[in-house]
Amino acid sequence: MKTRAGLCLGVAALLILAVLVGAAQRDASQPAPGQIGDPAAPLTGLQWIKAGPVQLERGSIYVVEFWATWCPPCRTSIPHLTEIQRQFKDQGVTIIGISDETADIVKPFVAQMDEQKKMEYAVAIDREGQVHKGYMEAFGVRGIPHAFIVGKEGNLLWHGHPMAGMDAVLKEVVAGQFDHVAYARKKAAEEKEEARVLALYKNYFTAVGTNPGEAATIGAQLVDSDNTAMLNALAWRILTDVPQESRDLELARAAAAKAVTLTEEKNPSILDTYALALYELGKKYVAQAVTLQKKAIELTDNAQAKENLSKALQRYEAATVE
Ordered by start, the domain boundaries in the chain are 2-178, 187-320
Longest dimension (CA), the chain: 66
CA distance 110 to 170: 25
How many C-alpha atoms does 36 have within 13 Å on its Cβ side? 17
The answer to whether the peptide bond before residue 53 is cis (omega within 30 degrees of 0) is: yes
CA distance 66 to 125: 10
Q: Kindly state the DSSP code that residue 39 receives in the 8-state scheme.
A: B
Contact call for residues 296 and 309 (beta carbons, < 8 A) = yes
CB-CB neighbours of 127 under 10 Å: 16
Contact call for residues 156 and 56 (beta carbons, < 8 A) = no
In three-state form (DSSP H/G/I as H, E/B as E, the rest C), the secondary structure along 132-192 is: HHHHHHCCCECEECEEEEECCCCEEEEEECCCCCHHHHHHHHHCCCCCHHHHHHHHHHHHH
φ and ψ at residue 52, rounded to 5 degrees? -125, -175
Strand ranges (E), the chain: 2-3, 6-8, 47-50, 61-66, 93-99, 122-125, 143-144, 146-150, 156-160
Ranges of the chain with pLDDT below 70: 1-32, 322
Q: Is the dihedral of CA 109, 162, 295, 268 positive or negative?
A: positive
Q: pTM of this prediction?
A: 0.66
Q: What is the CA radius of gyration of the chain?
A: 21
Considering the domain 187-320, what is its CATH architecture? Alpha Horseshoe (1.25)
Q: pLDDT tens for residues 14-37?
A: 433 433 433 434 444 444 578 899
Q: How buried is residue 249: exposed, middle or buried, by Cβ count under 10 Å (0-12/13-18/19+)?
A: middle
| CB contact set of 90 (below 8 Å; sequence gap of 6+) | none
- Tell me, what's the pLDDT at 26? 45
CATH hierarchy code of domain 2-178: 3.40.30.10
Measured between its terminal Cα atoms, the distance across the chain in Å is 38
CA distance 11 to 299: 13
Specify the amino acid at residue 134.
G
**Dihedral angle of Cα 34, 133, 88, 164, to the nearest 10 degrees:** -70
